[in-house]
A = this chain, B = another copy of it.
Amino acid sequence: MYKLIELKSGVCSAKGFFADGISAGLKPNSAKDMAFIYSEEICEIASVFTTNKMTAAPIRHFRKKGAFKTNFVLINAKNANAMTGKAGIEDIDTILSTLPKELINPVMSSTGVIGVRLPKEKIIAGTKLFNLTKKEPNAAANAIMTTDSFSKQKAFRVELEDGSSFSIGAMAKGAGMINPAMATMLCFITTDAKVSKDEMQTILDEVTLTTFNAASVDGDTSTNDTVMLLSNGLSGTYNKEAFKEALQKIMLFLAREMVRDGEGATKLVTYKVTGAKSDEEAEVVAKALSNSLLVKTALYGEDPNWGRIASTVGASGVECSEETLSISFNELCVYDKGNLLFDEDMEEKASKIMKLDSFSIACDLGVGEGKFTSFGCDLGYEYVKINADYRT
């Protein structure tokens, strides 16, 4: 047995971790735009990166180093250092070479506009403002935001039966370009659990599938997506089951928060697909629903247009038929295996559900045991506004 106790200290929750955010003049109005995470002990690293082939320079730089440990991560907003070729890698080398020698194998992570060289001088000047003794998780979480409207953090202390405890804390940024196969998202997770690199990676991979990889804002996959988990082992203790549960809770919360804060989003919808021929087919349907423009605009219009749900299921290419499909909004079944249940009374009930900030749409395909749950949001005028004019 173990207990999870929620903490409010984000990436500074685990022993020996420090973080802060500062303004380097990358964002206007002196907003915070650079953050660091520092650990007083060197850390094992587990990571998941974008599947985009146009992998941004920071990810290529990370991978080039092979296996390594670090005690420092530097993050900048406003510039993704993507599509910048060898020069992008060299820019990172130049920046990192100016850091103090006690920072071992420092890692850089970037988010922002694609196809523009990093403003090296500003970033180097920014690093001079870092104070490694600071524990300012909120400032760090704010600094990494781009189009996010609020910062995203979650942390737990895990108390084990033998009286020992360890902590896990995280910060993340969204908020557009979020796709089932990762997203323009950065997530940094710190822990003092004494966990091996291999085990940490295995658990991270597994948890990613049902959390960040089940979240969709707009179906696009960015060049910079990164989830990084750092462990310094300072708690001296560990329990696999508890660690995995805490990580799952943290990543699920952050994934849902990213979707809830999806660009212009007003609703968070959970798509529960069951009865598919396989889990893989359920995943195809769940992601088709969370990515469908017609479904997303119907959500925005608070229109219980279950026909679009059915059409999207049918268009996804998996095994299904109108005779075995059923569709529910929360607990309200609106279509049941060929029976048109929808009348004025039901429309009124369904419309009420559609007005909620958060609800579920369940589709049972009725052809097997496969299931998958994804998260999506609506798409409104604000999404268009944000993305029609992102660079300016």
| B-binding residues in A (CB < 8 A) | 51-55, 80, 82-86, 113-117, 176-177, 179, 181, 218-223, 291-294, 297-298, 300-301, 303, 305-308, 310-315, 317-323, 325, 335, 338, 340, 342, 379-381, 383-385, 387-392
Contacts and interface: CB of A to CB of B under 8 A. Distances in A.
19 contacts: A53-B313, A53-B314, A53-B319, A54-B311, A54-B320, A80-B307, A82-B307, A83-B322, A85-B323, A114-B308, A115-B306, A116-B340, A181-B315, A218-B294, A219-B292, A221-B311, A293-B379, A297-B387, A380-B384
Contact of A294 (B84, B300, B320, B387): B387
Given A83-B340, A117-B340, 5 more contacts: A54-B311, A114-B310, A176-B294, A298-B387, A380-B388
A261 to B, nearest CB: 17
Nearest to A57: B322
Contact of A390 (B116, B223, B305, B385): B305
Nearest to A321: B53
Nearest to A182: B315
Copies in the complex: 2
A114 to B, nearest CB: 3
A388 B83 contact: no
Contacts of A325: 54
A300 B384 contact: yes
Contact of A311 (B114, B291, B313): B114
A61 B317 CA distance: 21
Q: Which 4 A-B residue pairs are closest in the complex by CB-CB distance?
A: A114-B307, A301-B388, A54-B314, A297-B387
B391 A315 contact: no
A220 B292 contact: yes
B311 A390 contact: no
A223 to B, nearest CB: 5
B338 A389 contact: no
Of A307, A317, A389, which is in contact with the most chain B CB atoms at under 10 Å from its CB? A307
Contacts of A305: 114, 390-391
Contacts of A218: 293-294
Contact of A388 (B219, B298, B317): B298
A85 B384 contact: no
A388 B314 contact: no
A298 B220 CA distance: 13
A297 B383 contact: yes
A112 to B, nearest CB: 10
A117 B338 CA distance: 12
Given A54-B310, A221-B315, A384-B384, A392 B340 contact: no
Contacts of A223: 310-311, 314
Nearest to A319: B53
Nearest to A301: B388
A315 B82 CA distance: 13
A148 B233 CA distance: 62
A204 to B, nearest CB: 22
A303 B388 contact: yes
A82 B308 CA distance: 11
